[in-house]
Chain A
Amino acid sequence: MNLRVEGVSFRYPSGVLALDGIDLAIPSGQLLAILGENGAGKTTLVKLFNGLLRPSQGKVYIGDWDSAEHTTAALARRVGFLFQNPDDQLFERTLAREVGYGPRNLGASEAEVKRRVARALKLVGLHDMAEAHPYDLPQPQRKLLALAATIAMDTPILVLDEPTIGQDEVGRGAISRILTDLHRMGRTLIMISHDMDFCAEHAQRMLVMLNGKIHVEGTTEDVMGQTKKLDEAEVAPPQLVRLAQALKMPGTPLTVDDFVDEYKQWRKKKKSK
C-alpha cells in the first residue's frame, strides 16, 4: 500500500513548528529509511501516518484513504507502529497474549489469532517463550516482542522507530532477517534510525530531515554520496562510505561485498596507470 503526504505542516501546542511543508510519496512495497538528528521531526512525521498526530495543515493519504476521514483505530488496520521504547506498548501477562491483543481487538477469530501469534513469534525467534511474562525478557528481546505484536496486526504498512537500538550483533541480525522477510512479503516499511550501517545495508530509499523539512531524498546510494548535504543535517555516512571517501575511492559502497569489489577495481586501475 502506498502513502502520500501533501503540503503537511505540524505545530505542537507549545508553538514549536515540528514539520514545515512536507511533500512525500512512498510507493507500495518500499523500504524507506528516515534519517536526521534528534529533534529534526522524524518521529512527528511518522506519527501522522497512523493518526497519533494530525497535521496542522495539508493532507496524509494512506492508500486511497484521506487520513483525516478515519479514526486512529481505523488507521491502525493499515499502519502498524513499533515504538522506540518497547515498554510504551507492552502490557499483557504473556508473550502470546501480548502479540494476540492487536488481532483480537481487530475482531479476528480465535483460530486466526492463534495462527498470527505463532507466525509472528516464530518470525522474531521468541516462539519458545510464548507463555513467559513480557517483563521476564531483557529489554532488547522486549523490542523483538513489540515487533512481533506489530507484525501480527498484518498491516500493509509498518513504521519502525529505531528498531536496532540496544541490540547486539545477534539482535541486529534477527531484525535484519525480519525486515528482509517483510519486504519480500510486499509490506511498505518505513524505518527511523541512527544506525547508519544498518540503514545503508537495508533501505532502498532514504529521506534526510532537517529542522522539520525534507533536506535530501533519493536512493540510498545517491543520498549516502551527498556528503555536503549529510554534513548539514549532521548525519554521518556509514563506515564503508567514510572509508571509501578517506581513501579517495570513487563510488558509494553500502555493503562489505560492494566495498571489496570496488576496492579491488580501484587498486587495479591505480596499478595500471
Chain B
Amino acid sequence: MIELKKFSYWYPGTEQPALDRVSLSIAEGEFIGIVGANGAGKSTLCYALSGFVPHFYNGETEGQHTFNGQDMASLDLGQLAGQVGLVFQNPFNQISGARFTVREEIAFGLENLGLPQSEMRARIDEALELVNIQDLAERSPFSVSGGQQQRIAIASILAMQPRVLVLDEPTSQLDPDGTRDMFTALNKLVSTRKITVILAEHKLEWLATFCDRVIALGGGKLRAEGSPQAVLSSEQMLRLGVGRTQYSEAAARLLRTKQLPVTLEQAKKALK
C-alpha cells in the first residue's frame, strides 16, 4: 500500500537527511509501531508515510515513495487527504481554533469533504464514542485538558474515515487508562475495518501487546524491523536509546534465552 525504496529526505536548508535511504513496505490492515530515540526520525517518517512529506513540508527527496503504486509526489493532495489521516504529536497543531465546540471541530474536516448532514452527524457520534469523549461534545476544544485535546485531535481524523491512520505519539498526554482506551480503539479499527494503523510511540509494552510489526529508527536510518518481541527485546534497543521494558530487563538478568519477553504475558510464561 505504502512503499519507500531507498527513500531519503532533507528538510529545507539542512545537510543531514532526516530520513536516510529508508526501504519499507506497508500492507493494508497492518498495525505498525515506530520506535526510536527523540530525533531519530520518527515524526519525519510519519510525515512521509502520510504524504505530508513532500506535499506539505518542502525540501529534497531521493529514492522511491509510492502510495498504491503511484508516486506520492504526483498524487492530488485532496484525494490523498481522503485516504490517509495524520494525527500530530501536539494536539495544538491539529485543532483548528476556528470552531466553538468539540462537535463543530470534528465537523470541520467533514464539511470540506462535502458530506450530507446526516452522514456527518453519524460519523461525529461514532468518532466521539471511539475515543470516549461523548461528554465533551458541546464543550470548547480549548477548555479541556491536554489529554482530552489529544483525543479530540484523534476523533477529528477518525471521522474522516481514512484507510491509513498515522499517529505521532498519540498517547503522550494520556494517563494509563486513556492509553489503554486509545490502543483498544485503534486495534478495533484494524480488526473490524482493515484500516492500516501506523504509530510512533515510546510506550513499548503497549506496542508489544498490539502491533503486528515494529520498525526501529536511529539517526534517520531504519535499524531494525520485525515482530514486536524480536525487535523490542534486542540489546540494540539500548544502543538506540529506545530502552526495553522492565520485563525484558529482569529476564535478561535471569534467563539464557534467544528472545527475551517483552510483555507481561510473555514474562510470566518465561519465568514461571
Interface residues of A (CB under 8 A from B): 37-39, 84-85, 138-141, 165-172, 194, 196-197, 234-236, 238-240, 242-243, 246-247, 256, 259-260, 263-264
Contacts and interface: CB of A to CB of B under 8 A. Distances in A.
B148 to A, nearest CB: 8
Interface in B233-256: 238, 241-243, 245-247, 249-250, 253-254
Interface stretch (B18-26, B68-76, B156-164, B264-272): B264-272
Interface stretch (B59-67, B104-112, B172-180, B219-227): B172-180
B250 A259 contact: yes
30 contacts: A38-B147, A139-B90, A141-B38, A165-B173, A166-B169, A167-B38, A167-B202, A168-B202, A168-B242, A168-B243, A169-B238, A169-B243, A234-B177, A235-B176, A236-B176, A238-B246, A239-B245, A239-B246, A243-B246, A243-B247, A243-B264, A246-B268, A247-B268, A256-B249, A256-B250, A259-B250, A260-B254, A263-B250, A263-B254, A264-B254
B97 interface: no
Contacts of A236: 176
Given A166-B172, A242-B264, 4 more contacts: A37-B176, A38-B148, A168-B202, A239-B247
A240 B250 contact: yes
Nearest to A85: B146
Given A171-B38, A236-B176, A239-B205, A256 B246 contact: yes
A262 B89 CA distance: 39
A263 B251 CA distance: 10
Given A256-B246, A256-B249, A260-B253, A140 B146 contact: no
B58 to A, nearest CB: 19
B37 interface: yes
Contacts of B38: 138, 140-141, 166-168, 170-171
B167 to A, nearest CB: 14
A77 B129 CA distance: 45
A107 B243 CA distance: 43
Contacts of B267: 243, 246
A38 B175 contact: yes
Nearest to A243: B267
B145 interface: yes
Q: Which of A194, A236, A242 has the most CB of B within 10 A?
A: A194
Contacts of A235: 176
Contact of A165 (B36, B172, B241): B172
B80 to A, nearest CB: 27
B268 A169 contact: no
B39 A196 contact: no
Nearest to A263: B254
Contact of B145 (A39, A165, A171, A260): A39
Q: Which of B38, B89, B241, B272 has the most CB of A within 10 A?
A: B38
